[in-house]
Amino acid sequence: MSEVRQHKVKDIFVDGPIDPSFVGTSIAKHATRQDIGAHEIFLGQIRADVVGADDRPPNNVVIAIEYTAYREMALETMTAIREEAFVRWPEMTCLHVHHSLGTIPVGQLCFMVFASSKHRQQAREAVAYVVDRIKSELPIFGKEIFVDNTHQWKRNT
**CATH number for the domain that contains residue 53:** 3.90.1170.40
Share above pLDDT 70 across residues of the chain, in percent, rounded to a whole number: 90
Whether 123 is covered by a domain: the verdict is yes
Q: Which residues of 118-152 are buried (b: 16+ CB within 10 A; e: fewer)?
A: beeebbbbbbebbbebbeeebebebebbbeeeeee
Q: Which domain holds residue 38?
A: 13-153
Domain count, the chain: 1
Whether 140 is covered by a domain: the verdict is yes
Does the pLDDT value for residue 117 go beyond 70? yes
Whether 71 is covered by a domain: the verdict is yes
The pLDDT-based confidence of 52 (bands split at 50, 70, 90) is: confident
CA–CA distance, 93 with 57 (Å, rounded to integer): 47
Whether 6 is covered by a domain: the verdict is no
Residues, the chain, total?
Answer: 157
In Å, the largest CA–CA distance within the chain is 60
Q: List C-alpha distances in Å: 130 to 78, 95, 136, 138.
A: 9, 9, 10, 11
Question: CB of 144 within 8 A of CB of 153?
Answer: yes
The pTM (predicted TM-score) of the whole model is: 0.90
Q: Over the chain, what is the mean pLDDT? A: 91
The pLDDT-based confidence of 157 (bands split at 50, 70, 90) is: low
